[in-house]
Amino acid sequence: MSDGGGEMDHSLPPLEVPKAGTGSRVMTGDTLIRDEILSPTLPFSRFPPSSFQRRGPQDLEDYFTGPRDLARHSKWPVFLQMHGSILPKMILPLLVVGAWATAITVVSETTHSLAVNSVLLTITGFVVGMGLSFRSATAYERYQEGRKYWTALIISSQVLGRIFWVHAKDRAGQDPRASILTKLSAMNLLVAFAVSLKHTLRFEPYTDYDDLQHLIGHLDTFAKAATTEAGGSMNKEKGMFKSVGEYLGVSFAASNPRKTLKRATRPLGNLPLEIMNHLALAVDEFVANQQLPVPMQQTLAYNNLNALGDVLAGCERILNTPLPIAYSIAISQITWVYVMLLPFQLVGLLHYVAIPATIAAAYIILGLLLIGREIENPFGQDVNDLPLESFCEQIANELDIIASFEKKPTQAIFQNDNNFPLYPVSTAPASVWMQRSEHKLRHTIRSKPNMTFDWKNNPPVRKVLGEKNV
């Protein structure tokens, strides 16, 4: 309450000691230190908290799943590395090609020659090469576009984090703790936006994921209501045969990635968009409360908020606009026709060597086809997809670094004895230069380009210890 002098009393209300049996630990004593009040235990919390990425040893079942952890380093030569290779998905196609080439070669060598002129190899090879080049180029372009959008998200998160923490002033007359918690909550929404975008791009529309639920539990969203009604995200463990089938690229084993969306019994909303609404409201309140008094800061905040919308729309465009199915079918068909015709064109020249030659050629051709298919959607969980977990972790860590910055007057920082403003021309700190004349300071500044140029072209001899510095 106010004492009538216009100042607010920010004294804390009296502490309430929990009754026996209501907490996991009993707090006793006549006085409780406020900074040692126990935090409540959340039903979904873990300690230590789960990371955005998989850590620790890599199990065999995770070896051919992704995205790839960029922090891992392999000493194997690139051509011998299996993690990230398309080889597992080529095992069955190569077995089929090998069996087909063996049958054609045996019949041709023992019964009747099936060899044809190799001119067909040249004609169809050109068409197949054009198709695979088009497929690879379009797939990699989508991959690069996805990376650019997530780069833009990282940049906008950094800028908005600085605006919330560094530029935004404490609200006049408000408890400083409330101001700090408001800024932190706004910065946490930036992490929530990135994590929710990752789950949205993977067709995971609910909110009970380990890396998300603590960030948006206080928000009223369609996804939260749907999660509560459904009792969870309904993710089931895959069976062994289904998992092996997916590893081997068997189309019949692949699940529809949108099946969770189709099974929803109520609207799922658009969680990243709803988080953007809360961010927009936070920016509006900062501006209305005169916490961002500089117009350029306001413009910067709204521009980067719009940039988040561009990222969301751009990623959804990549996800929902694959290569037209006619192109995909045609390129796949002409590639397989070419591979199946290879034994007929090689058996006359190579005889039984045509079998391994066909398999080797199929490995090259089908490898390019399958790589383009895998990276066409860069937001999935294949080994070669974008490491979205790593990007989310980067955003969270960088916002924590921004929040750890303590705002101090720059004058006190610049007058520190460890600040050498004219190094390497002078090793004198700023406090020493404050004792010298302005003429000496300006003369040294003017002479710095010439001195550094001379040192670059004529490196000076190391000075004797104890010699006077400039």
pLDDT value of position 31: 45
* pLDDT at 12 (0 to 100): 44
| 3-class secondary structure per residue, the chain | CCCCCCCCCCCCCCCCCCCCCCCCCCCCCCCCCHHHCCCCCCCCCCCCCCCCCCCCCCCHHHCCCCCCCCCCCCCCCHHHCCCCCCHHHHHHHHHHHHHHHHHHHHHHHHCCCCCCCCHHHHHHHHHHHHHHHHHHHHHHHHHHHHHHHHHHHHHHHHHHHHHHHHHCCCCCCCCHHHHHHHHHHHHHHHHHHHHHHHHHHCCCCCCCCCCCHHHHCCCCCHHHHHHHHHCCCCCCCCCHHHHHHHHCCCHHHCCCCCHHHHCCCCCCCCHHHHHHHHHHHHHHHHHHCCCCCCHHHHHHHHHHHHHHHHHHHHHHHHHHCCCCHHHHHHHHHHHHHHHHHHHHHHHHHHHHHHHHHHHHHHHHHHHHHHHHHHHCCCCCCCCCCCCHHHHHHHHHHHHHHHHCCCCCCHHHHHCCCCCCCCCCCCCCCHHHHCCCCHHHHHHHHHHHHHHHHHHHHCCCCCCCCCCCCC
What's the confidence (pLDDT) of residue 323?
87
- In the prediction, which pLDDT does 171 show? 86
- Give the model's pLDDT for residue 229: 81
Q: What is the pLDDT along the chain (470 residues), one digit of tens a residue?
A: 334 344 444 444 444 444 444 443 444 444 445 566 666 666 555 545 555 555 444 555 556 566 766 677 677 776 677 777 778 888 889 999 999 999 999 999 888 888 887 777 777 888 888 889 898 999 999 999 999 999 999 999 999 999 999 999 998 888 989 999 999 999 999 999 999 999 999 998 888 888 898 999 899 988 888 888 877 665 556 655 555 555 555 665 566 667 777 777 788 889 999 999 999 999 999 999 999 999 999 999 999 999 999 999 999 999 999 888 898 899 999 999 999 989 998 888 888 999 999 999 999 999 989 888 888 889 988 888 899 999 999 999 999 999 999 888 888 888 888 899 998 888 899 989 999 999 999 999 999 998 888 888 887 666 544 444 54
What pLDDT was estimated at residue 174?
A: 85
